[in-house]
């Protein structure tokens, strides 16, 4: 991803919108007995689209904003989200994603990893009360919900960041270039000549 | 060039991890008025209007999604409810004979809301943000110090006790629910039952445990549990006495323990909080910071 200041602004808007949507909409929903969490989804999506650095930095920022708005322990969410953002980015840098189901699957798996890591940190920091086994259900159902939510959300984030995604820019140029044996490799001038030659020879 | 990029990437990653760890450690070690806390209050204040607007604007969409979800759950609940109806019929017969006695007990125990929160100034507030994880059982309200809300003020809704104020900005406050792992409430079983400490079971908002109840005490299912408002003159509970918390669901006695575990079902549905009341400007309670 080519991160210009405009793209940085778009990423910042994505982060703010994601946090507000999570705290004011998704946290109120109960699906399969669990609250959907789009915060890891956004961190992983940004990692998949922008690479390891973008994933890690955006994951950290997302975690910081979430922890601040909830007055929670600063750094816990940041640590987990920067880790999943980085892993997603590293995967993207090392592997060609050709299957459209691969991003939602990765988002689901990394959401489970993020929720499990978050629970582990909470337990390490000390929970004085008994812990219900429902926490395990919560972790896995959140992964499933993240997989389902990623199907519309990942393409949406990709669309917002399209001008910066190298693959999409190259694909866009290819789409605009007509693929014909005579036109290949001759550039714009040669392509203009084709109608003139047709006119001269009387072909339609 | 590539190696330089890799080195830079690793450096940024290590830096972010170190910053996260420092933040965790600093949050635990700092006092409530520390610089990080000020940063949190600043970020929360910036996001508060956005959260409030989004909460109001998205309410119809939330209700629609929850309605669809509840419709799916309704099938399973139907058979459970039939069993409940049979159980409740027999309970109703017993309850009707106890109504007269109950009225007297209410007066005796000062259970009615006016009496329980007498001396407090109620501030009605709306829930504007909730956490996405079961590990934090907190909510953010759209009332803050500007409305007279202070730390440790009790929060109730129409069903019973919800929690207490844990943090305040000018426009918002954070409420730690009674189902949060950091919460514990001194409680008493009615009508004349023993006192214990009601604590949550982390991860399950529908169950609380009432601890330190002697195993020889006879506790029955359905008995009401209210706040005890415990105080020894120097330290005291943040909650005034008599606020309904929940009802006894069942009891278990572990081997080689002198206490029995009393499981409670809270009256207030912590996953469906919308409008609540903060009891502000109440009488000073010894040892409770404000």
Helix (H, G, I), strand (E, B) or coil at B111: coil
* DSSP H helices in B168-276: none
Task: Name the domain count of chain B.
Answer: 1
CA distance A177 to chain B (A): 31
A154 closest CA partner among A6, A14, A12: A14
DSSP-assigned letters across all residues of B14-39 = HHHHHHHHHHHHHHHHS-TTSHHHHH
Contact B155, B278 (CB under 8 A): yes
In a domain, residue B4? The reply is no
- Please tell me the distance from the alpha carbon of residue A17 to that of residue A153, in angstroms, as a whole number: 12
Dist. CA B161–CA B154, nearest whole Å: 8
Per CB-CB distance under 8 Å, the chain B contacts of A74 are 23-24, 26-27, 36, 40
The model's pLDDT over B122-131, given as tens digits with 9 standing for 90+, comes to: 888 889 988 8
Residue with tokens 């330089």: B4
Return the residue of A nearest to B36 by Cα.
A74
Q: Quote the pTM value.
A: 0.72
Of A10-19, A47-56, A189-198, B19-28, least confident by mean pLDDT is A189-198
Residue B79 lies in a domain: yes
8 A C-beta contact, residue A110 and residue A40? yes
Q: Is the pLDDT of residue B73 over 80?
A: no
Q: Does residue B197 fall inside a structural domain?
A: yes
Catalogue all structural domains in chain A, each as residue range(s) with its CATH number: 5-164 (1.10.1760.20), 167-204 (no CATH)
DSSP 8-state symbol, B263: E
Q: Which residues form the domain of B88?
A: 33-284
The reply to whether B67 falls in a domain is yes
In-domain check, residue B12: no
Dist. CA B290–CA B283, nearest whole Å: 11
Kindly state the tokens that stand for B145.
């110090």
Contact between A20 and B47 (Cβ < 8 Å): yes
B80-139 confidence digits (pLDDT tens):
777 777 677 666 656 654 555 555 445 434 444 455 677 788 888 889 988 888 778 889
The span from the CA of A99 to the CA of A88, in Å, is: 15
Judged by a CB distance cut-off of 8 A, whether residue B7 touches chain A is no
Residue labelled with tokens 């949406």 = A156
Tell me which of B26, B167, B181, B203 to substitute to probe the interface with A (most A C-beta atoms closer than 10 Å): B203
Is residue B18 included in any domain, yes or no? Answer: no
* Contact list, B22 vs chain A (CB under 8 Å): 75
Per-residue confidence band for B282, with pLDDT thresholds at 50, 70 and 90: confident
Tokens of residue B232, six digits: 């020894």
CB–CB contact A26 B132 (8 Å) = yes
| Residues of chain A contacting residue B140, judged by C-beta atoms under 8 Å apart | 23, 69-70
ipTM of this predicted complex?
Answer: 0.75
Best residue in B12, B20, B199, B210 to probe A by mutation, most A CBs within 10 Å? B20
Q: Identify which of B21, B140, B200 has the shortest CB distance to residue A75.
A: B21
- Helix A39-50 to helix A5-24 angle (10° resolution) is 160
Distance (Å) from the C-alpha of residue B211 to the closest C-alpha of chain A?
11
Mean pLDDT of chain B, nearest integer:
80
Choose among B167, B250, B173, B261: nearest CA to B209: B261
**Residue A179: pLDDT over 80:** no
* DSSP H or E segment with residue B262: strand B259-266
Residue from B180, B170, B127, B163 nearest B149 by CA: B170
Which candidate, B102, B104, B111, B109, places its Cα nearest to that of B243? B111
Contacts of A71 in chain B (CB under 8 A): 40, 44, 138, 166-167, 174
Assigned domain for B107 exists: yes
How far apart CA B213 and CA B262 sit, in angstroms, is 8
Residue B5: inside a domain: no
- Beta bridge partner(s), residue B276: B125
Give the residue among A103, A124, A128 at the shortest CA–CA distance from A44. A103
Q: Report the residue of chain B nearest A115, measured CA to CA.
A: B133
């Amino acid at each position: 991803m080519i991160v210009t200041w405009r793209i940085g602004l778009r990423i910042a808007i994505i982060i703010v919108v994601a946090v507000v949507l999570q705290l004011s909409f998704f946290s109120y929903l109960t699906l399969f007995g669990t609250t959907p969490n789009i915060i890891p989804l956004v961190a992983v999506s940004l990692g998949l689209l922008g690479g390891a650095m973008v994933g890690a930095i955006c994951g950290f920022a997302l975690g910081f904003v979430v922890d601040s708005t909830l007055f929670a322990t600063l750094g816990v969410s940041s640590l987990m989200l920067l880790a999943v953002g980085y892993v997603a980015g590293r995967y993207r840098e090392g592997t060609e994603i050709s299957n459209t189901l691969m991003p939602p699957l990765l988002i689901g798996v990394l959401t489970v990893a993020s929720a499990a890591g978050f629970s582990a940190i909470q337990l390490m920091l000390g929970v004085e009360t008994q812990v219900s086994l429902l926490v395990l259900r919560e972790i896995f159902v959140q992964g499933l919900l993240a997989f389902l939510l990623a199907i519309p959300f990942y393409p949406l984030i990709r669309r917002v960041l399209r001008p910066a995604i190298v693959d999409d820019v190259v694909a866009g140029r290819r789409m605009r270039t007509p693929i014909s044996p005579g036109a290949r490799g001759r550039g714009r001038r040669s392509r203009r000549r084709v109608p003139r030659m047709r006119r001269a020879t009387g072909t339609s | 060039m590539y190696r330089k990029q890799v080195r830079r990437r690793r450096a940024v990653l290590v830096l972010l991890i170190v910053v996260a760890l420092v933040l965790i450690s600093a949050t635990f070690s700092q006092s409530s008025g520390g610089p990080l806390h000020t940063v949190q209050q600043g970020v929360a204040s910036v996001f508060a209007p956005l959260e409030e607007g989004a909460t109001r604007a998205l309410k119809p969409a939330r209700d629609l999604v929850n309605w669809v979800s509840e419709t799916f759950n309704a099938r399973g609940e139907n058979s459970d409810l039939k069993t409940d109806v049979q159980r409740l019929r027999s309970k109703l017969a017993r309850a009707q004979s106890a109504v007269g006695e109950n009225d007297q007990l209410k007066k005796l125990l000062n259970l009615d809301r006016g009496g329980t929160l007498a001396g407090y100034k109620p501030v009605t507030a709306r829930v504007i943000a909730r956490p996405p994880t079961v590990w934090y059982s907190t909510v953010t309200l759209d009332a803050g110090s500007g409305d007279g809300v202070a730390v440790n003020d009790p929060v109730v809704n129409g069903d019973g006790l919800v929690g207490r104020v844990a943090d305040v900005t000018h426009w918002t406050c954070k409420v730690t629910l009674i189902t949060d792992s950091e919460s514990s409430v001194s409680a008493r079983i009615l009508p004349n039952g023993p006192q214990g400490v009601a604590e949550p079971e982390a991860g399950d908002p529908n169950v609380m445990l009432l601890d330190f109840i002697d195993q020889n005490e006879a506790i029955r299912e359905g008995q009401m549990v209210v706040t005890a408002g415990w105080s020894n003159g120097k330290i005291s509970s943040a909650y005034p006495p008599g606020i309904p918390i929940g009802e006894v669901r069942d009891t278990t006695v572990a081997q080689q323990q002198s206490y029995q575990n009393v499981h409670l079902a809270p009256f207030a549905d912590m996953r469906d909080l919308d409008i609540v009341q903060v009891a502000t400007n109440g009488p000073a309670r010894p040892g409770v910071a404000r």
